[in-house]
Amino acid sequence: MNVQPRAGEPIIVNVGLGDRAYDIVIGRGLLASLGERVAMLRPGCKVAIVTDETVARHHLAAAQAALTDAGIAVSSIKVPAGESSKSFRQFERVCDALLAARIERGDLIVALGGGVVGDLGGFAASVIRRGVDYVQVPTTLLSQVDSSVGGKTAINARQGKNLVGAFYQPIMVLADTALLDTLPEREFRAGYAETVKYGLLGDAAFFEWLDVNWRDVFAGGESSGSSAREHAIAVSCRAKAAIVARDERETGDRMLLNLGHTFGHAFEAAAGFSDKLLHGEAVGLGMSLALEFSARRGLIAQEEADRAIAHLAATGLPTHVKAVMGGNWPGIDVMMDLISQDKKVKRGQLTFILVRGIGAAFVTRDVATDEVRAFIAEKLGAR
């Protein structure tokens, strides 16, 4: 694990993809530099900001001011807050608005928001005029450590989450940690699931650090005098950048980043992609299930799995199926159908990310459907 940086010192993490490489810039108060950075990257461009109504109330004016102060013409497009905006309907609205704003290939789209806005805005950028550059300005912990990095863009379909999309890399990610100060605690906690994921899947030392310091990560804020939050974000981004550089299109190692997602996406879909179960909460629940399933298979010692699950529970993430939505889940047939829609399914064979220990995840297709069915049925309390 890397040495923790000095408080207030911006951190640059490079995503090494050859001529499509880009920087993730991490630190407090960076939004004010957006215009200057955009002007250096794309001189003379126009900018369209895609954001949601909640983020717009907090941060749109500052983003627009940063761009106009740099002499950049800017327009904005707002969508409703929440997972429901990752839909065909909102995708069409955004594309229509971008064309109405006369955004050209030499212009730029800024996705200002959490994972929903980043996925939606990035996907729109990938198809408008067959591809317009875009910048991610993530405003949630989840998007700063995960969804804004790596170029996975998508909307949801009736059949499941993120099933319609494209791999399309941004030209910069600007992660202003001060924007997290306005984040509700539940949203921050959901983002923490994607942070601790990096420790659980490939960095035992980072998990140990989080186990000691997670309260400082949650506290954050300028007044705390702590750089724990920036450190956690930077370590997460370095881990993801390294994996993306090796496997941009998720044919091998990148699937490790889906630890907890095969189970989690199914429960998230069953909850209707709603605030009944946020994405990060679903990932936390899914990681708990993956850890327990791995222990059942004798891959990880039960006490080690229990320790990781206890950490997730201590931070307030859900770890038991029956404790979410009052246990009112669809039947086992519906849940198995949702699991079978996972993007990693290959020729009908389920793909799972399991663990041989904390920091030792691996990809396997050696999991029988009947075994998964029996495990999920038990968790649902089905007979």
- Of the candidates 42, 59, 279, 311, the residue annotated as catalytic is 279
Residue 130 annotated among the catalytic residues of the structure: yes
Cα 246 to Cα 219: distance, rounded to the nearest angstrom: 34
Confidence of residue 341 (pLDDT cuts 50, 70, 90): confident
- Distance between terminal CA atoms of the chain? 45
The one catalytic residue among 161, 258, 281, 311: 258
| Residue 250 falls in the annotated catalytic set | yes
pLDDT per residue as tens digits for the range 351-370: 899 999 999 999 998 899 99
Q: What local confidence, expressed as pLDDT, does residue 91 receive?
A: 98
- What is the percent of the chain where pLDDT is above 90? 84
Residue 13 above 90 pLDDT? Answer: yes
Choose among 232, 227, 229, 220: nearest CA to 195.
232
The catalytic residue among 42, 161, 229, 265 is 265
Distance, C-alpha 155 to centroid of its chain = 13
**Best CA proximity match to 316, nearest among 290, 281, 342:** 281
Identify the pLDDT of residue 140.
97
CA–CA–CA angle 188, 152, 62 (5° rounding): 50
- How is the chain split into domains, by residue range? 1-251, 259-383
Q: Select which of 42, 59, 86, 152 is catalytic.
A: 152
> Is 254 one of the catalytic residues?
yes
Average pLDDT score over residue span 175-204: 96
Query: Which one is catalytic: 78, 161, 229, 261?
Result: 261
Residue 250: pLDDT band by 50, 70, 90 thresholds? confident
- Which of the following is catalytic: 78, 156, 187, 194? 194
Q: How many CB atoms lie within 10 A of CB 328?
A: 10
The DSSP string of 213-277 is HHHHHHH-SGGGT--HHHHHHHHHHHHHHHHHHH-TTSSSGGGGGGTTHHHHHHHHHHTTSSTTS
Average pLDDT of the residues in 242-251:
91
Q: Is 59 a catalytic residue?
A: no
Annotation says 9 is catalytic: no
> What is the DSSP code (8-state) at residue 59?
I
CATH number of the 1-251 domain: 3.40.50.1970
- Report pLDDT for 340: 85
Residues 378 and 383: their CA atoms lie apart, in Å, by 8
Residue type, 80: P
pLDDT at 3: 46
CATH for 259-383, options being 3.40.50.300, 1.20.1090.10, 3.40.980.10, 1.10.150.650: 1.20.1090.10
Q: Is the pLDDT of residue 309 over 50?
A: yes
Q: What is the mean pLDDT of the chain?
A: 93
Q: What is the DSSP string of 259-324?
A: TTHHHHHHHHHHTTSSTTS-HHHHHHHHHHHHHHHHHHTTSS-HHHHHHHHHHHHHTT----GGGS
**For range 234-257, the mean pLDDT:** 93
Catalytic residue among 130, 158, 346, 347: 130
Residue 273 pLDDT > 90, yes or no?
A: no
pLDDT of amino acid 347: 58
Give catalytic status of residue 261 as yes or no. Answer: yes
What pLDDT does residue 224 have? 46
Does residue 2 carry a catalytic annotation?
no
User: pTM, whole model, 2 decimals?
Assistant: 0.91
Q: Is 240 a catalytic residue?
A: yes
The catalytic residue among 197, 240, 311, 343 is 240
